[in-house]
C-alpha cells in the first residue's frame, strides 16, 4: 500500500510540544505531511473519549504529545495524560482496533529534531498498519461507539483521575496503593464498563436477548447476564418484550 496516505491527528500541548513543532519548522526539519495538529493548553486536556471519538470517525492514527514528565507547565498534568492515553489504549484493544495506532510522546520546546523524528516514525508505523479498519466494518463502528461511551462513564473517569494520587501520595489515610495492583483493578473495570457500554449500544435500537448479547461480547452468558442485571438495576436497560420464552432487553434512551 505504497500510495496509502494516512490521516493522523496530533494533539500538542501549548508549552512544550507545540513549541517543539514550531522549532522543527524554524530549523527546517522535514517530515511527512500526514499529520494535522490541534493545539491544547496541556496534554492533560485530552480525555480518552476524545481520542476514541476520532478513531470512531476514521482516524488512521492519533498522537498525544506533551512536556516531559517533571517539566509540565501545569506541574503534573502529563501524569494524568499518561493514564488517559492508557485508558484509551485499553479500550481500543477491547474494541478490536490496533492500540499501536495511538501514541503518547513527550517533546520539549527544545526538541524540534525529535519532533520531526517522532512524526516520521509514527507516520511510517501507521503506513505499515494500513488504513484504519473502523470505517469498513460496521461492527467496529458499534464497538468504537461503546468504547467512547465507556471512556465518558464516571467509573472509568474517576479511576483514571485518582490513580496519580492513590498510587503516589496515597488516600486520606496515607495508604499508597501498589501501581501494579491499581493497573489490575483498572483493567478489570475497563473491561466491565466496555462490555456494559457495548450491551447498551447493541440494544439501543433493537431489543436483544442475553444469548445474542453474549455472542457479540464474546463472553459467557452468565457474565453477560450479570451485566444485564446491573444495567437494569441502574435503570439503563429495560425488558422490552418476551419473545417466546426469551426475554429481550432494550437500552433506556437517556437512561441514568
Partner 1 sequence: MSDDEKRIGVFICHCGSNIAGFVDVPAVTEYVKTLPDVVFATRNLYTCADDGLTSIKESIKEHNLNRVVVAACTPRTHAPLFQGTCQEAGLNKYLFTFVNIRDQCSWVHMKEKEKATEKAKDLLRMGVARARLLQPQEEVKVGVTPSAVVIGGGIAGMSAALSIADQGFPVRIVEKESELGGFVRNLSSIYQERQDAGALLKTIIDRVRGNPNIELSLNSEVVSADGFVGNYDIVIDTKGQEKKDKVGVIVLATGTKEYIPKGLYGYGQSPNVVTLTEFERLVKEKKLPKMTSIAFIQCVGSRGQDKTYCSRICCNISVKNAMNLAENYKNMLGLEETGAVTEAAAPKEAPAEGGDRRRGRRGRRGGAEEGEEEASAGSKLEVVIFNRDIMAYGIDHELMYNKAREKKVRLVRYTPKNLPKVTVEGGKLVIDYWHDTLQMERKMNPDMIVLATPITSQADAKQISMMLKVPLGQDGFFLEAHVKLRPVDFATDGIFVCGTCKGPADIPEAVTQGTAAASRACIPLARGFVQPEALSAFIDSDVCSGCGTCIEVCPFSAIRKTEEGKAEVTIAACKGCGNCGATCPENAIFMNNYSDEQLLAEAKAALQEVKG
54 binds partner 1, rule: CB under 8 A: yes
**Among residues 2, 3, 138, 154, the one that binds partner 1 under rule CB under 8 A:** 154
Cβ neighbour number for residue 181 with a 10 Å cutoff: 10
CA-CA distance, 155 to 132, in Å (whole number)?
A: 29
**How far is it, in rounded angstroms, from Cα 112 to Cα 28?**
9
Cβ neighbours around 183 below 10 Å, total: 14
Nearest approach, Cβ of residue 178 and partner 1 (Å) = 20
In whole angstroms, give the CA distance from residue 80 to residue 158.
12
**68 lies in the site for partner 1, by CB under 8 A:** yes
Using the rule CB under 8 A, is 126 a contact of partner 1?
no
**How far apart (Å, rounded) are the C-alpha atoms in residues 189 and 63?**
24
| Residue where the block lists cell 517522532 | 118
CB 251, CB 200: distance < 8 Å: yes
Query: Does 192 interact with partner 1 (rule: CB under 8 A)?
Result: no
Cell numbers 463502528 correspond to 141
CB 54, min distance to partner 1, A: 6
Instruction: Report the residue from 1, 4, 41, 220 that binds partner 1 according to the rule CB under 8 A.
Output: 41
Residue 28 as a binder of partner 1 (CB under 8 A): the answer is: yes
Name the residues that contact partner 1, by CB under 8 A: 5, 7, 9, 11, 14-15, 18-19, 21-22, 24-26, 28-31, 33, 36-42, 44-47, 49-50, 53-54, 57-59, 68, 70-77, 80, 84, 109-110, 116, 152, 154-155, 157-158, 161-162, 164-165
Amino acid at each position: 500500500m505504497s500510495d496509502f496516505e494516512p490521516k493522523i491527528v496530533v494533539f500538542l500541548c501549548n508549552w512544550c510540544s507545540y513549541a517543539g513543532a514550531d522549532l522543527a519548522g524554524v530549523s527546517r526539519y522535514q517530515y511527512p505531511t500526514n499529520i494535522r495538529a490541534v493545539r491544547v493548553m496541556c496534554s492533560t486536556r485530552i480525555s480518552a473519549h476524545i481520542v476514541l471519538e476520532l478513531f470512531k470517525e476514521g482516524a488512521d492514527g492519533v498522537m498525544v504529545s506533551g512536556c516531559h514528565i517533571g517539566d509540565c507547565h501545569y506541574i503534573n498534568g502529563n501524569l494524568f495524560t499518561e493514564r488517559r492515553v492508557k485508558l484509551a489504549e485499553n479500550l481500543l484493544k477491547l474494541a478490536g482496533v490496533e492500540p499501536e495506532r495511538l501514541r503518547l510522546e513527550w517533546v520539549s520546546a527544545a526538541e524540534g529534531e525529535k519532533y520531526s523524528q517522532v512524526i516520521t516514525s509514527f507516520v511510517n508505523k501507521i503506513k505499515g498498519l494500513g488504513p484504519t479498519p473502523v470505517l469498513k466494518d460496521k461492527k467496529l463502528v458499534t464497538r468504537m461507539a461503546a468504547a467512547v461511551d465507556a471512556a465518558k462513564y464516571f467509573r472509568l473517569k474517576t479511576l483514571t483521575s485518582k490513580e496519580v494520587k492513590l498510587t503516589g501520595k496515597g488516600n486520606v489515610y496515607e495508604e499508597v496503593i501498589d501501581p501494579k495492583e491499581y493497573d489490575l483493578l483498572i483493567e478489570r473495570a475497563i473491561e466491565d464498563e466496555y462490555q456494559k457500554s457495548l450491551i447498551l449500544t447493541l440494544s439501543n435500537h433493537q431489543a436483544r436477548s442475553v444469548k445474542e448479547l453474549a455472542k457479540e461480547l464474546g463472553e459467557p452468558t452468565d457474565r453477560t447476564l450479570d451485566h444485564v442485571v446491573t444495567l437494569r438495576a441502574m435503570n439503563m436497560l429495560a425488558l422490552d418484550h418476551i419473545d417466546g420464552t426469551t426475554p429481550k432487553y432494550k437500552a433506556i434512551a437517556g437512561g441514568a
